[in-house]
Amino acid sequence: MTSPLNIVILAAGKGTRMHSDLPKVLHPLAGKPLLEHVLDMARVLKPAKLCVVYGYGGDALPQAIQGDDIAWALQAEQLGTGHALQQAMPHLDTNGVTLVLYGDVPLTRQDTLQRLLGHAGSDGMAVLTVALSDPTGYGRIVRDNAGRVTRIVEQKDASDVEKKINEVNTGIIAAPTEKLVRWLAQLSNNNAQGEYYLTDTIAMAVAQGVPVATAHPHHEWEVLGVNSKLQLAELERIYQRNYASTLAGLGVTIMDPARLDVRGALSCGRDVVIDVNCVFEGQVTLGDNVAIGANCVLKNVTVATGTRIQPFTHIEEAQIGADCRIGPFSRIRPGTALASDAHIGNFVEIKNSQIGTGSKVNHLSYVGDATVGNKVNIGAGTITCNYDGANKYRTVIEDEVFIGSATQLVAPVTVGRGATIGAGSTITRDAPAGELTISRIKQLTIAGWQRPVKKPKGE
Ligand code: UD1
Ligand code: CA
């Protein structure tokens, strides 16, 4: 492609059937707004100009979507796709080709768009079409006896014979920009919907002897749009299935490709195993031989080689070392770093803490704002009391400390290297290295004490 490429994304429509206050193209697919998917696929084609036509929802779109490369064109009233594209024209390079995409058609592949642009060349028109078993609702591709495209007729304007045509307009069209400007200016809204149809430019091209080619996607899902929450959910499954196929193709063992959700990017080493119903958000990196149990949620996490994460574990903004054992039912919160061979067990919450090599927090504990050394054993039910209701303080637990069960460590506090804390202690001052520290009331027995007995009823 030598002539400059303009890409216009039509996104001014309301999306009535979404029944939502959020503009349709801001609804997320795989954790990212529909429009971002379309922008990302547009950018791969390296357009000279990238323009989004917006309207419904006002400034919500330009506010939600970042990008210095985007020219925003306001279509104040939604008078049809032709009128929408007209609003973009002042932002474009006049001497190139213009590719029209829809903000609610998120899964078109790069090779399909490149094929379409190839068919258009520098001076022709090309329409991405697809044959559907049920074409209802779409614009139909009308061809002459020689098979050449003559025009597109919308469902509401189509004759009974035309309604039987099953080749439809996907809406994705490439056209020479200079001619497009003139055609758009000539559109009328004298049709069943009273709209300015972009599709009417096809007949104009044919009348002027401009060749109109067609290209087709490899997969039907590439041209599926979102008009309802059900269609959004269906496209989500297609996206996720494709993502799972790619991972499996790279050697990742995915127990059920239909039960994987990646909302961001998941990168995996060799011999990674992922059990069912896991959700990966943001950037997640799993090293070689990592195993993720069923029903885990990982967001912006790096997991090093050989670590096993057992079912129902939730990890967010954390770095997990090699050969760790985590879960089942662990929660690891932002700012946490586990060194290698750490064990975090069931019903344990770790927040903003460093846990050293070979250290264990196996049962029912809260470790927050703590620096834990190597080979530390934190007994069941231990709590770092890191918050006094106003400020947060750190707990420091040095190497080879043993914390007895049901201990509270009232921060700021330091437990010295090799110290032992007796079970049930409330530690409010620093505990010296190498010693046993214990704070617990002495056990008492009241001899001969009687349990109260229930009084008989009615007295
Ligand atoms: C349009 C095509 C139809 C095609 C179908 C594919 C026309 C006249 N018809 O139909 O041939 O089969 O798409 O889905 O082009 N939009 C605006 N401003 C407007 C109207 C629409 O920005 O004034 C945007 C919408 O946000 C959407 C896209 O254009 O992203 C298509 O609009 P939609 O109403 O879905 O198109 P249809 O009329 O159904
Ligand atoms: Ca539509």
- Domains along the sequence of the chain with CATH: 5-223 (3.90.550.10), 229-437 (2.160.10.10)
- Ligand 1 atom showing the smallest separation from residue 169 Cα: 12
In angstroms, what CA-CA distances link 286 with 272, 298, 313, 324, 407?
A: 7, 10, 15, 13, 34
User: Which ligand is in closest contact with the Cα of 57?
Assistant: 1
Q: What is the pLDDT of residue 64?
A: 96
Task: Report, as residue numbers or ranges, the catalytic residues.
Answer: 363
Distance 385 CA to ligand 1 centre (A): 58
| Cα angle value 415/308/331 (rounded, 5°) | 55
In angstroms, what CA-CA distances link 227 with 68, 112, 392?
A: 28, 22, 48
- Tokens 């939600």 map to which residue? 64
Q: Is 201 in the pocket of ligand 1 (CB under 6 A)?
A: no
For 244, the token pair is 């799972």
Q: Is 127 in the pocket of ligand 1 (CB under 6 A)?
A: no
Q: Is 23 in the pocket of ligand 1 (CB under 6 A)?
A: no
Distance 102 CA to ligand 1 centre (A): 8
Distance 227 CA to ligand 2 centre (A): 7
First to last CA, the chain: 99
What pTM did the predictor assign? 0.94
Alpha-helical regions (H) of 175-228: 177-186, 200-207
Distance 114 CA to ligand 1 centre (A): 22
| C-alpha–C-alpha distance, residues 355 and 314, integer Å | 17
Q: What is the pLDDT of residue 2?
A: 58
Give the closest residue (by CA) to ligand 1 atom 26: 13
User: Which ligand is in closest contact with the Cα of 198?
Assistant: 1
Q: What is the pLDDT of residue 14?
A: 85
User: Which ligand is in closest contact with the Cα of 101?
Assistant: 1
Q: What is the pLDDT of residue 443?
A: 94
Yes or no: say if 107 and 224 are a contact pair by the CB < 8 Å rule. yes
How many secondary structure helices (H) and strands (E) does the chain include?
8, 37
Which of 24, 34, 38, 81 best tests ligand 1's pocket when mutated (most atoms within 8 Å of CB)?
81
Q: Is 78 in the pocket of ligand 1 (CB under 6 A)?
A: yes
Q: What is the pLDDT of residue 385?
A: 97
Helix (H) or strand (E) holding 163: helix 160-163
Yes or no: say if 263 and 279 are a contact pair by the CB < 8 Å rule. yes
| C-alpha–C-alpha distance, residues 166 and 168, integer Å | 6
Yes or no: say if 411 and 393 are a contact pair by the CB < 8 Å rule. yes
- Ligand 1 atom showing the smallest separation from residue 197 Cα: 8
Q: What is the pLDDT along the chain (459 residues), one digit of tens a residue?
A: 457 999 999 999 988 999 999 999 999 999 999 999 999 999 999 999 999 999 988 899 999 999 999 999 999 999 999 999 999 999 999 989 999 999 999 999 999 999 999 999 999 999 999 999 999 999 999 999 999 999 999 999 999 999 999 999 999 999 999 999 999 999 999 999 999 999 999 999 999 999 999 999 999 999 999 999 999 999 999 999 999 999 999 999 999 999 999 999 999 999 999 999 999 999 999 999 999 999 999 999 999 999 999 999 999 999 999 999 999 999 999 999 999 999 999 999 999 999 999 999 999 999 999 999 999 999 999 999 999 999 999 999 999 999 999 999 999 999 999 999 999 999 999 999 999 999 989 999 999 999 999 999 876
